Structure 1
């Protein structure tokens, strides 16, 4: 059985947030949230560690266009996710196609569908749409956009920049879990008390009936 990948080579990556994920639930072991200028150094480290790229996907969220990159190795278990967000009014992200050639068409697809420019892509021609296309088929209107925080699966914070929205989200989820546990405990106690009361009433009734019969 393949061993799990060692991700310690990314300890020095300039991530604004470093999250441990549940691979059984998400298929991801480590998620790094990066600023745009930290993307290429992180990807170079991933390449040097023998990982290959699986895909590049973009989501149109309230914060901007969020690009998500997934990497893994053939000989070990474990998957890395990088997330980089470009504001809607500055839709530029560095291309990683000069490091991972397979990223080229993924980036071009996102250019077609969202209008994001991957600066430095060696072949920025249209992939699926005609060259004169002006539409962005997967771009959402402002009212339809959700925050990426609303779409985050469960995670454990390894490290986060002070004041990062992920910290607030983690605190909110923890408070919700504690409130749910409190309510569950109250309901369990109430059910136990009701069952005890019902048992006492039934015992009293049976005792009364036995007395009348005697």
Structure 2
């Protein structure tokens, strides 16, 4: 019974850690999204002002600036609707609260395991009760973590003896660095691409203006 409960506790710890990471990932995406949308709006307004003040009417740069301004306005609206529909901030909060509940459950299991060592022996019914409570807490969260969140957890806790495989860490330091880089890039790559596209269009407009 003791080994079964320890195994369950390890599983809960992994799930909680992965969901903490998922909450962090969604929070980062929401923050990056909000900042990007605000800057897109500033660029759109700024482009309109620059076009009105400095561009020669009906010049190639003026026409390109008009098209670019309309494109940026429609693009900003589309991105705003898409990101609002994803509800990243709400999903992040849900995942974080679920991870907190799972962490509280592991503390309760740790206390029970300590009592077992002092002679208050575990029963099969108690292990089953903890397993049922784990499933109930996990099911309360409608958003699940992704495999990359779990891989990041393994990298962050790679020195923990509970995660060792044949006495070796589950992940090397080099592998962890690759995982954390991929984790960050996968969170914001969409906006990085958008920034590159918008930046190239603005540069093209500037080159037309310079002649």
TM-score (norm 2): 0.26
Higher-RCO chain (CA-CA 8 Å, sequence separation at least 6)? 2
Q: Indicate the structure with greater helix content.
A: 2
